[in-house]
Structure 1
Amino acid sequence: MNTAPRLPWTEISPKPYQAMAAVGATTAKSSLGTILMELVKTRVSQLNGCAFCVDMHVRDLRKQGESWQRINSLCTWRETGLYSARERAALQWAEALTRLPDGHDSHDASFGALKDHFSDQEIVELSWTVAQINAWNRMAVGMRAPVAEKDIA
């Protein structure tokens, strides 16, 4: 399997890259909390098969003190009791926005679950976070961003 990067996309087109980074800096200031946002980014990256982003966000979760058990169980979050109702609502919404071809009718239930745990401001910030990680995933997968071997944190 060829894992060589395709293009130096951040150098070829730095302005969109910088704009995306600025969006990330803005959403990072959200009241959602770092752990929740990193769980969402990791889960979306898992769904999109983005090795670079999964690696990065798992490392960020570990730096925030997240346990290996919760990280390893993220792909099966529905089958475990390891996640709060708030986290579950956010993960369900993130999956709904990532898997758009699965049907829009089911989004009402996902959105309703959000309303029990998040303010309108937080729902919009969560949605921006999901939209942004989906865009990052598409660039990293498309340009074949490499995963560098690093020590486990």
Structure 2
Amino acid sequence: MEARMKHPAFVLDGALAALQAVGKTYLSAGVSRELLEITNLRASQINGCAVCVEMHSQALKKAGETDEKIWAVASWREAPYFSEAERAALRLSEEMTRLADAGDVTDETWAEVEKHFDERQRAALVMSLSMINVWNRLNATTRQPSGQKWG
């Protein structure tokens, strides 16, 4: 597949730096990098963003996650590899990514997230999931192919 255009973040002056700056804000909030990668991978699977599925799978592998756990992200409900906190974050990932389908993040999901994460961590999860959905939409809309090297 060939991209429809050069990536928009590289076309508009300052766009890439702004997106990356937002990304740095939630990395020090106490949510593990691995959990952020897992939730980003799940959102990217839902959105069909091949670039991000590849990128977050590779990041998880590099961080030491097992192949079995990475492969099971799409079927996390049936897989034994995830903690209760990870399951709460994955539910949040799915509901935030599917707002058009579900209409809201349910109170049940939010209560489960509150059990496992403090306010800064919840803010980090919400920001991270919001940003991955931005990246997914940029990549999918412009048909950015996986396997390319940026930077």
- Structure 1 outlier segments of 4+, above 4 Å: none
**Aligned counterpart, 1:35:** 34
**Aligned counterpart, 2:11:** 12
Task: Give the TM-score, by structure 1 length.
Answer: 0.91
- Number of residues of Structure 1 aligned to a counterpart in Structure 2: 148
Matched residues in 2 for 1:105 and 1:22: separation?
27
Matched residues in 1 for 2:105 and 2:145: separation?
35
**Aligned counterpart, 1:45:** 44
1:1-153 matches, within 5 Å, as 3-8=1-6, 9-104=8-103, 107-148=106-147
Which residue type is aligned with residue 6 of structure 1? R
Aligned 8 A contact 2:26 2:128 in 1 = yes
Q: Quote the offset at 1:106 in angstroms.
A: 5.7
Matched residues in 2 for 1:104 and 1:149: separation?
34
Matched residues in 2 for 1:105 and 1:52: separation?
27
Spell out, residue by residue over 1:96-121, the C-alpha distance to the aligned partner (whole angstroms, 9 max, x if none).
11100233466111101011100011
Spell out, residue by residue over 1:24-76, the C-alpha distance to the aligned partner (whole angstroms, 9 max, x if none).
12222231011100000000000000000000010000000000000001100
Aligned 8 A contact 2:99 2:105 in 1 = no
Matched residues in 1 for 2:13 and 2:108: separation?
39
Which residue type is aligned with residue 4 of structure 2? R
Q: 1:6 to 1:149 in 2, by over 3 A?
A: closer
Matched residues in 2 for 1:108 and 1:85: separation?
17
Spell out, residue by residue over 1:103-147, the C-alpha distance to the aligned partner (whole angstroms, 9 max, x if none).
346611110101110001111110000000000000011111121
Task: Give the TM-score, by structure 2 length.
Answer: 0.92
Which residue type is aligned with residue 116 of structure 1? K
Q: 1:137 to 1:79 in 2, by over 3 A?
A: same
* Structure 1, unpaired ranges of 5+: none
Task: Give the fraction of aligned pairs with identical amino acids, expressed as a percent.
Answer: 34
Superposition RMSD on alpha carbons, in Å?
1.6
